[in-house]
Chain A
Amino acid sequence: MGRLSPLGRVGLWLANVAALAFLLLPLVPVVLGALQSEKSLTADIRSLLPGQPTLANFQLILSGGANRGPIFEQVTYLPKSIERFGAAFLNSVIVASSVALLTLALASLSAYTVARLNVAWVKAVVSLSLLARLVPLIVLMVPLYVLFRQYGLLNSLSGVVLAEVGFLLPYAILILVPYFASLPVELEDAARIDGCTRFGAFWRIVLPLATPGLAACATIMFILSWHELLIPLIVVSRPEAMTLPVVLAGLVSDYFVFFTLMMAICLLGLAPTLLLVLLLQKYVVRGLVAGALKG
Chain B
Amino acid sequence: MAPASSDSPKSRPLLRAREPGAGALALLLNLPAGLVLLAVLAWPVLYAGWLSLHEVSLRQLRSGELPFTGVANYVRLFGDDVFWLALQHTVVFVAVSVALEVVIGLGIALVIDDERVALSRVTRVLLLAPWGVPPVVNGLLWSFIFNAQYGYLNRTLLALGLIREPVNWLGDPSLAMVAVITAYVWRTTPFNILLYHAGLRGIPRDCYEAAAVDGASGWRRFWHISLPLLRPVIAVTLILRTTFAFMVFDEIFAITQGGPGNATWVAAWYTYRAAFQPPFNIGLGSASASVMALILGVAALAYARLVGRRLEA
Q: Which residues of A contact B (CB under 8 A)?
A: 1-2, 4, 8-9, 12-13, 15-17, 19-20, 22-24, 26-30, 32-33, 41-42, 45-48, 105-107, 109-110, 112-113, 117-119, 121-123, 125-128, 130-140, 142-147, 149, 162-163, 165-167, 169-170, 173, 184-186, 189, 192-193, 198-199, 223, 226-227, 229-230, 234, 244-245, 248-249, 251-253, 259, 262-263, 266, 269-270, 273-278, 281, 284-285, 288-289, 292-295
Contacts and interface: CB of A to CB of B under 8 A. Distances in A.
Given A107-B33, A199-B25, A252-B140, 19 more contacts: A2-B212, A9-B117, A26-B130, A118-B18, A119-B22, A128-B37, A130-B300, A130-B303, A131-B301, A142-B48, A142-B289, A244-B134, A245-B135, A248-B134, A248-B136, A249-B254, A269-B137, A277-B131, A292-B237
Nearest to B154: A45
A41 B150 contact: yes
A193 B114 CA distance: 48
B29 A45 contact: no
Interface in B85-117: 104, 107-108, 111-112, 114, 116-117
Contacts of A106: 32-33, 36
A12 to B, nearest CB: 5
B289 A13 contact: no
Interface of B: 4, 8, 11-12, 15-18, 21-23, 25-26, 29-30, 32-34, 36-37, 39-45, 47-48, 51, 56, 61, 104, 107-108, 111-112, 114, 116-120, 122-123, 125-137, 139-145, 147, 149-152, 154-156, 158-159, 166, 186, 189-191, 194-195, 198, 205, 208-209, 212, 218, 233, 236-237, 240, 243, 246-247, 249-250, 253-254, 257, 268, 271-272, 275-276, 282, 285-286, 289-290, 292-293, 296, 299-301, 303-304, 307-308, 310-312
Contacts, number: 346
Contacts of B125: 278, 281
Nearest to A274: B132
B236 A292 contact: yes
Contact of A132 (B41, B249, B250, B276): B41
A173 B186 CA distance: 27
A90 to B, nearest CB: 16
Given A23-B130, A47-B155, A113-B29, A263 B45 contact: no
A12 B108 CA distance: 10
A249 B33 contact: no
Contact of A270 (B137, B150, B155, B159): B137
Given A29-B152, A273-B132, A293-B198, A252 B4 contact: no
11 contacts: A26-B130, A27-B129, A42-B149, A109-B29, A147-B43, A229-B253, A262-B144, A269-B134, A277-B128, A295-B308, A295-B311
Interface of B is mostly: helix
Nearest to B311: A295
Contacts of A149: 61
A74 B112 CA distance: 50
B126 A24 contact: yes
Nearest to B62: A149
Contacts of A288: 191, 194-195
Contacts of A121: 26
Given A12-B117, A48-B159, A227-B135, A186 B29 contact: no
Contacts of A130: 300, 303-304, 307-308
Contact of A136 (B4, B116, B137, B268): B268
A1 B158 contact: no
* Residue among B51, B122, B136, B218 having the largest count of chain A Cβ atoms under 10 Å: B136
Nearest to B12: A189
A160 to B, nearest CB: 11
Contacts of B108: 19, 22
